[in-house]
Structure 1
Amino acid sequence: MTTETKASTQNNDYTASRIQVLEGLEAVRKRPGMYIGPTDINGLHHMIREVVDNSVDEALAGYADRINIIIHADCSVTVSDNGRGIPVDIHPTKKVSGLELAATVLHAGGKFDSDSYKVSSGLHGVGLSVVNALSTWMNIEVQTGGKVWRQEYFTGKPQGPVKAVGKSEGRGTTVNFMPDVTIFRDGLDYNFRALVQRFREMAYLTKALRFHIADQRDGNEVNFYFEGGIRSYVRHLNKEKNVLHKTPFYVERDLNGVAVEVALQYTEAYDTDSIYTFANNINNTDGGAHLTGFRNALTRVVNSYARSKNLLKENEANLTGDDVREGLTAVISVKLQDPQFSSQTKEKLVSPEAASAVSSVFGDAFNTWLEENPGDAKRIIEKTISAARTRLAVQKVRETARQSAMEGFPLPG
């Protein structure tokens, strides 16, 4: 046996000793992409959003109305709210503080208890603990029961027990963390504008919730508070566009445990639609079930209305989805107790009940709105029919060009 063969045999000696067991949060530090996606600026922003999502959940539950976010000059981040505060009492079976559990144990949190949170953004109980694992250090202070409680961590590990460090007349949670540069190797270069856009969305999606965002690196600071909810959001998105109807369509209704909100407004633009989808205030950039339900209902209702008013003739084909969405701006928001996403980063909602709820709630309400607003409805239908005719004309030109090209080539032989 050669030396090379011996080395190969030794390397292929797969025994139990080669099986690694990652304890605690070691798995997160070893494979951060499984929890926050890429460890570039997107992952960095995801860290902040995970902590903010917990604060928004307190607002959705009716316990908080203020969230403060600060990017410090040293690139550490502080997120605070005036919610109930993470529990600091001792867990009955784990025998450690609830705060330590939430910050150091994956899949530990109040989001699994429907009595604590009817709906939530942080679904899997991994948000705070993952942020802790991927930070050089983290400090958490909780105001509850007339005291301020504090615990400090280094690369996810507690540096001591939860301690009372002072008195307090308020309540809430403050999380201060420094992302680990050995994990985020591109550096801690936050994009303030991108973060502000996300928090503006959150403010639109949660009526009467105040956001304060400050960047101490350059002195930028913004505040958000919207009474109009997603209707205000649609107006904001269309503020520089010519609209077909002044007042956006809006519906809000619960159906089979799914709270559905939809706001939309058509514009004179000829570009593709701008549809924003959210589940439990999470921006689902890849859409999902709620988007499918909305699109199906929109195409069905517009075609039905157009034919009932004889705006679409019998000999004309149905309008396509692209036709009815041209120039459309819409925001779709659903809230449900146990949403299912395609991954921990939550870009796509896969809960089937969301599709049926949105289709039913939006379809019924939009059909009624069209009937009650015939002037606006006619302008919308005329635009969709114009889009269809343009599509068919372009298609005909392409077919003619293709046939001409084919005729220019003689057959072989």
Structure 2
Amino acid sequence: GLHHLVWEIVDNSIDEALAGYCDTIKVTIEPGNSILVEDNGRGIPVDIQEKMGRPAVEVILTVLHAGGKFGGGGYKVSGGLHGVGASVVNALSTKLEVFVKRNEKLYYQAYHRGVPAADLAVIGTSEETGTMIRFFPDDEIFQETLEYDYDLLATRLRELAFLNKGLTIEITDDRADKPITRSFHYEGGIKSDVEHLNRSKEVVHEEPVYVHGNRDGIEIEVALQYNDGFAAHIYSFTNNIPHQGGGTHETGFKTALTRVINDYAKKFWSDERGATARCPERCPPERMTAMLSYKSHHNPNFCRTKRKNK
């Protein structure tokens, strides 16, 4: 649960990247185990939300399911928990601070256990745009530990960089005397991830096969590469969320791959009697590493634990 707080805030920044407004996200583990997440997106809207009579940023950080509903050209997809993420992080923190760079101004507001400490205020000017959120997890709720695992955070952030090609994600650990910083940026996206996963294996073909397409508000990316191993490793994602149980997009991938192999075998691998080898429908692929990324502008049908896309 502790690390999931980070993912929920990072997801908001990823949304801005997916909408085409952000290319850099920075995550810092600060002394005392507070977390700072900053991006160079548009900045969370600060206009008064008519229905609530409060600034949009305050509504997003205090009301469930409020995220991603403000301003023109909103988020294309969402990897968070159906819009509840930021407000839940706020409620589970002893203190949360938000800095918004927008409209050539720097806005600030603080919260204590989800309740605004004061109204949103202008505290300066800014020629840039973006959002910074700092939160302090509540030790009364997270009683087991407040210590963040740097390697765990770095591994997931690297995965997010692979899944969002061209995006730079940086993580810094400021808790030690000498800060540790890692930066992730992959122009090849999931294709680069397949190469990374196969780095210690003998590959059958040097370049991974890569397919990318958009249709009816759905974006699909597939990258695969055969290797000298014996098992298949297929990694499925929906809106950047990993699925341990696969799902319809993984089933579709296996079906399509089987059909391509069978069509090729029928055309080129017939024996003297005209018989061809044939894979069973959706046969388990072997000796292959593959990544599947499904991004939907609609609401994909998955449970909040994100185990399987239906």
Normalised by the shorter chain, which TM-score bucket? Answer: over 0.9
Q: Which residue of 2 aligns with 1:308?
A: 267
**SS of match in other structure, 1:346:** coil
- Quick one: which of 226, 232, 241 aligns to 1:282? 241
Give the number of equivalent residue pairs: 306
**Could you say if the C-alpha distance between residues 99 and 315 of structure 1 is closer, same or farther in structure 2, counting changes exceeding 3 Å?**
closer
Deviation digits for residues 36-74 of structure 1, max 9, x if unmatched?
xxxxxxx11111011001001101111111101001121
Q: Would you say the 8 A contact 2:68–2:74 is kept in 1?
A: yes
Distance 2:270 2:62 in 1: 62
Deviation digits for residues 205-253 of structure 1, max 9, x if unmatched?
2121111100112332100111111111111110110011111101111
Q: TM-score, normalising length from structure 1? A: 0.70
- Quick one: which of 204, 216, 223 aligns to 1:256? 216
Q: Within the alignment, does 1:318 sit opposite 2:276 as a pair?
A: no
Distance 1:341 1:165 in 2: 42
**SS of match in other structure, 2:54:** coil
Q: Which residue of 2 aligns with 1:163?
A: 121
Identify, as 1 or 2, the structure richer in helix: 1
**SS of match in other structure, 1:110:** coil
What are structure 1's unaligned runs of at least 5 residues?
Answer: 1-42, 351-413
Q: Would you say the 8 A contact 2:237–2:293 is kept in 1?
A: yes
Q: Which residue of 1 aligns with 2:252?
A: 293
Displaced runs of 4+ in structure 1, greater than 3 A?
Answer: 111-115, 311-323
Q: TM-score, normalising length from structure 2? A: 0.92
Q: Percent sequence identity over matched residues? A: 45
**Aligned ranges for residues 145-160 of structure 1 at < 5 Å?**
145-160=103-118
- Quick one: which of 176, 184, 205 aligns to 2:142? 184
- Quick one: which of 207, 221, 226 aligns to 1:266? 226
**SS of match in other structure, 2:211:** strand
**Could you say if the C-alpha distance between residues 306 and 185 of structure 1 is closer, same or farther in structure 2, counting changes exceeding 3 Å?**
farther
Distance 1:246 1:101 in 2: 50
**Aligned ranges for residues 42-191 of structure 1 at < 5 Å?**
43-111=1-69, 115-122=73-80, 124-191=82-149
User: Bigger relative contact order, structure 1 or 2, given CA contacts below 8 A and separation 6+?
Assistant: 2
Distance 1:166 1:317 in 2: 68
What are structure 2's unaligned runs of at least 5 residues?
Answer: none
Distance 1:231 1:247 in 2: 9
Distance 1:112 1:331 in 2: 33
Identify, as 1 or 2, the structure richer in strand: 2
Q: Would you say the 8 A contact 1:111–1:125 is kept in 2?
A: no
Q: Would you say the 8 A contact 2:35–2:134 is kept in 1?
A: yes
Of 102-111 and 60-69, more deviation after overlay is shown by 102-111
Deviation digits for residues 149-175 of structure 1, max 9, x if unmatched?
111111111111111111112110000
Deviation digits for residues 51-106 of structure 1, max 9, x if unmatched?
00100110111111110100112111000001011111111121001011000000
Q: Would you say the 8 A contact 1:91–1:97 is kept in 2?
A: yes
**Could you say if the C-alpha distance between residues 133 and 142 of structure 1 is closer, same or farther in structure 2, counting changes exceeding 3 Å?**
same
Distance 1:66 1:111 in 2: 22
Of 333-342 and 108-117, more deviation after overlay is shown by 108-117
